[in-house]
Chain A
Amino acid sequence: SYVLTQPPSVSVAPGQTARIPCGGNNIGSKSVHWYQQKPGQAPVLLVYDDSDRPSGIPERFSGSNSGNAATLTISRVEAGDEADYYCQVWTSTSDVFGSGTKVTVL
């Protein structure tokens, strides 16, 4: 089965840039989607098809995907961005989530 690897945690100071990697074998050939989950809340779609944002998602959130890693970038980090972030891909047999990354705003 296909495995997506994320670091357990990322720390970033307010106003700085956070980069969250999502590793997978030849992930650049797949479309990667990202979700934000704040404590006690359901996940929310943040980025789809590698780099597209649903309406209402700030431009500070962006995505890229190439080779064996996709990346979610959060620019000008705010305290409200503190949350868990999950990547997700579709394979021919199932949908797969990454293990999740907890972003801490210092």
Chain B
Amino acid sequence: EVQLVQSGAEVKKPGESLRISCRGSGYSFTNYWISWVRQMPGKGLEWMGKIDPSDSYINYSPSFQGHVTISADKSIGTAYLQWSSLKASDTAMYYCARRMTTVTTSYFDPWGQGTLVTVSS
């Protein structure tokens, strides 16, 4: 079974750093890009960026460029999303998803279970 398993919920203070993880299993991790998606409380889905685990090439959404860092360790089949200085506005659920691609399109399947990040003083 193809699965993405994310790390657990986090509660942090403003200014702190954080790294959350997404481990893939049941498929060849380096054959598919991993994307990260944000969902703020009561809001919709926002694409943050994606990484090719085979060479760690990264593409960020302009909305998130410079605010987060995406990385991956192909040796352990894990992708990461990290912040160097959290803000209260980073409070959200974060999902990773395997990116399925064809010549003309891409979509996401499956998704991780989500990691809830709460930033509060």
Grouping DSSP codes into helix (H, G, I), strand (E, B) and loop, the A interface class, with mixed when no group exceeds half, is strand
Q: Which residues of chain B in 106-121 are interfacial with respect to chain A, using CB atoms and an 8 Å cutoff?
A: 106-114
Q: How many of A's residues come within 8 Å of B, CB to CB?
A: 25
| Cβ of A73 under 8 Å from chain B | no
Contact across chains for B105 and A89 when beta carbons are under 8 A apart: yes
Q: Which of B44, B61, B112 contacts A94 (CB 8 A)?
A: B61
Give the interface residue-count category, chain B: 20 to 34
Grouping DSSP codes into helix (H, G, I), strand (E, B) and loop, the B interface class, with mixed when no group exceeds half, is strand
| Cβ of A95 under 8 Å from chain B | yes
Interface string of A9-33 (1 = CB under 8 A from B): 0000000000000000000001101
Contact across chains for B107 and A48 when beta carbons are under 8 A apart: yes
The 10 nearest A-B residue pairs measured at CB: A31-B105, A33-B107, A45-B109, A100-B44, A42-B111, A95-B47, A97-B45, A90-B106, A90-B105, A48-B107
Q: Which of A45, A84, A98 contacts B107 (CB 8 A)?
A: A45
| Cβ of B35 under 8 Å from chain A | yes
Q: Which residues of chain B in 82-111 are interfacial with respect to chain A, using CB atoms and an 8 Å cutoff?
A: 95, 97, 99-100, 102, 104-111
